[in-house]
Amino acid sequence: MMQALEQHLIDVRRSLHREPELSYEEFKTTDKLRTWLAKAHISVLDLPLPTGLIAQVGQSEGPVVAIRCDIDALPIEEQTGLPFASGIPGKMHACGHDFHTAVMLGAAMLLKAREAGLPGSVKILFQPAEETGHGAESVLASGGLDDVAAIFGLHNSPELPTGTFGTRTGPFTAGVDRFEISVEGIGAHAATPENGVDAIVTAAQIITTLQTIVSRQCGARETVVLSVTRINGGHTWNVLPERVELEGTVRTYNEEIRASMPEKMTRIIEGIAGAAGAKARLHWAPGPPATINDGVWADFSKEIAGQAGYEVHDIPPQMGGEDFALYLQQIPGAFVNIGTGPAYALHHPRFDVDEAALLPAARYFALLAERALVQLKEQA
């Protein structure tokens, strides 16, 4: 049985990998999931979700736990050369969400096989649009998780060898915010800069001065990253442009610091621009907050991982982002990493996972959900 299930999960993962879909476009992916779940006689909740879904296994009486994966892909041209590589130009499962989806489908099938003995029910969440940082919002708004007492999610980790597991209590991933800065100067010939206001020099001063927020306005023990990642200005070699655009991101685990960043940045941006005779404006695009694992459930997830045969690690916090954080603001739970072997980094066009990690991860999440139900039942 397990050999057949493992092959099925490999086939599922490869089917998803061949036909990646971007955030909010996961219609074919959702249809495939409905088909696979129906064949396994697993019910799907009727919810107002255009893409993605929540399946349910278990008893109508008793506690409810949820396990979650994400299903969307990235706008990346695949360069793996795999026989099941993406057939959609410019789209790829470069973050392993195909792996996540296959894992949770396998967990759902294993839970279905022992449904009669479950002391409650498990909701299996196949979430859309994680890459936007806002997909979890639509799931929470649907009401599909209103009765959930504990929730667990995963991400594959190319930094961890296959057979290893990692999580931690407290901050797991950082809050992720994006910003854009527009700098308006006065164009002029490069030979006569005194006739204009140099938007490029102004933007350069803004970039360097923004770094003093981290070094001089945040505590030395705080973890804060402010990165300018895009500069766009000018069209030719001998003209000072009127406009320069900057874009970047801020990452931190501290919600108080996160909330203060727009004001701190605006002071610097407007002050430097004003001193130069230019104008500048900040546009702030908030993303998901920091993922904060509940200590009890993080320890519980590590205990079950050890029982499932994983080599368990207490890993350091990560500066990447994850909208699973939104669930943990409302429902206690834990986010974990499953090792998928040495590989190219997440979001790399040659990224791949070790498929030998599929079945063990499916078995782990089925066991985790079942044991969590038992614990919640005993506490009731």
- Asked if residues 110 and 362 have their Cβ atoms less than 8 Å apart, the reply is yes
Indicate the Cα dihedral angle 178, 184, 185, 187, nearest 10°. 110
What 3 state SS string does 110-140 have? HHHHCHHHCCCEEEEEEECCHHHCCHHHHHH
Q: How many CA atoms lie within 13 A of 30 on its CB side?
A: 18
- Asked if residues 299 and 199 have their Cβ atoms less than 8 Å apart, the reply is no
d(CA 195, CA 91): 47
- The two tokens of residue 97 are 């969400």
What is the sign, positive or negative, of the torsion defined by CA atoms of 193, 195, 200, 206? positive
Give exposure, 244-274, as e/b (b: 16+ Cβ within 10 Å).
bebbbbbbbbbeebbeebbebbeebbbebbe
**Residue 41 marked in a binding site:** no
- Sheet of strand 224-233, all strands in order from the earlier edge strand to the far edge: 224-233, 243-252, 175-184, 279-286
**Residue 189 marked in a binding site:** no
As to burial, measured by CB atoms within 10 angstroms (0-12 exposed, 13-18 middle, 19+ buried), residue 316 is exposed
**Residue 97 marked in a binding site:** yes
Phi-psi region of 231 (alpha: psi -120 to 50; beta: other; left: phi over 0): beta
Percent of the chain that is helix, strand, coil (3-state, to 5): 40, 25, 35
Binding-site residues, in ranges, read 95, 97, 131, 155, 347
* Binding-site entries for Mn(2+): 95, 97, 131, 155, 347
